[in-house]
Amino acid sequence: MGKIYFYISFVLLCFSSYFILNTEKNEKIQGYLENKTKRFEQSYNVLYGQYKKLSSLIYHTRINTKEVLYIFKDAYKSDENQKARIRKELFEKLNSTYSLLKDHNLKQLHFHLPDNESFLRFHRPSKFGDNLTNIRDTIKYVNRYKKPVDGFEEGRIYNGYRFVYPLFYEGEHIGSVEASFSTLVLSSEFMKNFNVIAKFLISKDVVNEKVFEAEKSNYIKSKFDNFYLEKKIIEKLNYPDTKISDKTRKIIENEDLNDKNFSLYDSTNKSVLTFIKIKNPISDKTVGIMVIKSDAKYIHNKTTNFYMAFGGAVIFIILALMFLYKNKNQTKILNQTVREKTKKLTKLNKELENNEHKLQRLNENLEIKIKDEVSKNREKDRVLFEQSKMAALGEMIGNIAHQWRQPLSAISTGVSSMQLQKELNLLTDDDFHNNCNSIVRNVDYLSKTIDDFRNFIRGNSKKEKFNIKQSIQSFLSIVSSYVKKDNIDIRLDIEDIQITGLQNELNQCLINLFNNARDALSDKREDKYIFIKASKQKDQLKILFKDNAGGIKDTIIDKIFEPYFTTKHQSQGTGLGLHMTYKLIVDGMDGTINVHNETYIHEGKEYSGAVFEIIIPLYEEE
């Protein structure tokens, strides 16, 4: 029976270890995929906004002018001969503008009559007269409600990002016009700015329903049965051939296309695929998908760490069970030798009495050895402190790239916009100054980010006079990307206080407390709060740092400042963060730090969480 129990215990322990480690791995990977989806959503919205601004510029400066409106005003009421004359005059008036804008990815310039009849397609001047009421929801909407609308839509010939505007002459509605940009615009911008592969998939049902039969050759099959790709874009961007797993293909085929965006890991091409769903602005139905392929290094590392941890757990379980099994069989043998050992111990006791004087001499050298060991342990603690700080630095510095992406994209787009306006002779002084001011603001933001990280890395071990409000703002700048990424709401109540002390060490303490609170809040999906209050009380600075993560368990709250104590997995925490904070406050600043749990009311809701109280004496400036 002993061997049977051994095998059953082995199987149960291995299964439990696998379940716990695999659950932790999957939760981390899912959080990573959700964050990647949010980042790409934000970038997509920024790029789309820039082209919406450009289309508005074209409309207001080149189309919605007295000359163009005068030419177009009688088109709806005219006979076919008069329409042909107006069409020719309008084409000659705007063709040079259209040709220039094509170099900036303008795909279509299209005029429509009030009854939604196509009047003039600059990309196909010979195709006109077809009614678009049941084909183009955006045109139908604009001509009915006399309001502009924008979004992605498939047409008779091409698809694109449509920006449709109503046209009026002396208060009378005379039709509408649209400027549209190719999906190539956003795909190429994603590939250039983020070093990814971006493809735009178009619903097969929409193409089959709307596109002229002669124009359907512009589309080819994609890896997904219910979506097409545009042939010219594939040829221009020269995509590498990408294989898709059957699992991914089934997910897309069965996915609710009107649900939210998402990311997944595809095991066949070893990468992350992010699906941003593009909806028709009128029907709100998904008509296309932007598929972004990016690297999956994080997932590969997590998977490797999981297998290593599980392998180590299996080895440990085998050794532990073998040890227990062997000891059980040897118990009888050990009992038999107890008497013999007792006799030997008696003999050893006599020898120990004879060696007592040797111990006395050793005790005399013990103090020296203790001092040496204490010195060594302090050096170890210092090294561990530095390692803990540098690990946090590595994570924060790696996050600079994320903080820089949006301002860099805004700078690039602003410069491109000014170049285009200059070529079109549309660059006004106000536009020039607004773009320059936007670029300067973004450059200042990038510079400030570097200054904050440089000051934190450089540090300063000398006491200096600094403002506590500015110091806390500097700390918040360092962790701002985590605040945004984890949707944490930080509430401040900071008095304007001058303090003489160790500013960098205080910031390090606040970062450690923030990381501790951030980990505690990671299980909450909403209402994540961190409250920071700094006030002057007589000759002391009092800082309260609290969250709403539910508090610290009573069984461990007295241990959290001890070295190497951590509730995290060994791969996530060293147990030195709060211990280092305690040492910096108590030994480095002659202050105190305490922690307790508290229940409180905030904006009508009851919360509970941990409260760290830091008290630092205020020194007079020497």
Write the pLDDT tens digit of every residue in 106-117. Answer: 888 999 999 999
Q: Which of 567, 26, 573, 12 is nearest to 313 (CA)?
A: 12
pLDDT band at 440 (very low <50, low <70, confident <90, very high): confident
Query: Tens of pLDDT along 323-374?
Result: 777 766 655 555 566 556 556 666 666 676 666 656 566 656 666 666 676 5
Q: What average pLDDT does the structure give for the chain?
A: 83
Higher pLDDT, 598 or 352: 598
For residue 483, what pLDDT is reported? 84
Rounded CA-CA distance 58/252 in Å is: 37
Which of 35-44, 224-233, 482-491 ranks highest by mean pLDDT? Answer: 35-44
Q: For residue 572, what pLDDT is reported?
A: 45
Please compute the mean of the pLDDT values over residues 542-568 and round it to a whole number: 85
Sign of CA dihedral 230, 231, 235, 238: positive
Question: What SS3 state is found at 365?
Answer: helix
What tokens appear for 486 in the block?
């984890």
- pLDDT value of residue 114: 96
Distance of CA 120 to the CA centre of its chain: 44
Q: Is the pTM of the predicted complex or chain greater than 0.85?
A: no
Question: pLDDT digit string (tens) for 168-208?
Answer: 999 999 999 999 998 888 888 888 888 899 999 999 989 99
pLDDT at 391: 53
Q: CA 226, CA 252: separation in Å to the nearest integer? A: 9
Beta-carbon contacts of residue 556 (< 8 Å; ≥ 6 apart): 565, 567
Whether residue 602 has pLDDT greater than 80: yes
Q: Please name the amino acid found at residue 199.
A: K
CA distance 124 to 119: 11
Mean pLDDT of 283-302: 90
Classify residue 588 by its DSSP letter. Answer: I
264/37 Cα distance (integer angstroms): 9
pLDDT of 264 strictly over 70: yes
| Range with lowest mean pLDDT among 54-68, 289-303, 561-575 | 561-575
pLDDT band at 240 (very low <50, low <70, confident <90, very high): confident
- Mean pLDDT over 579-604 rounds to 88
User: How distant, in Å, are the alpha carbons of 112, 161, 223 from that of 260?
Assistant: 34, 20, 21
Structure confidence by residue, pLDDT tens digits, 17-76: 899 999 999 999 999 999 999 999 999 998 899 889 989 989 999 999 999 999 999 999
Q: What is the pLDDT of residue 435?
A: 77
Q: What is the pLDDT of residue 400?
A: 60
From the list 488, 484, 580, 424, the residue with the least C-alpha distance to 102 is 424
308-317 long-range Cβ contacts below 8 angstroms, 24+ apart? 309/21, 309/571, 310/17, 310/18, 310/21, 310/22, 313/14, 313/17, 313/21, 314/14, 314/17, 317/10, 317/13, 317/14, 317/17
Q: Beta strand 271-279 with 464-467: parallel, antiparallel or unpaired?
A: unpaired
DSSP state of 585: I
Instruction: Please state, for a pLDDT cut of 70, what percent of the chain lies above it.
Output: 80
Q: In angstroms, rounded to a whole number, what is the distance separating the alpha carbons of residues 463 and 499?
A: 10
- The one-letter amino acid at 451: D
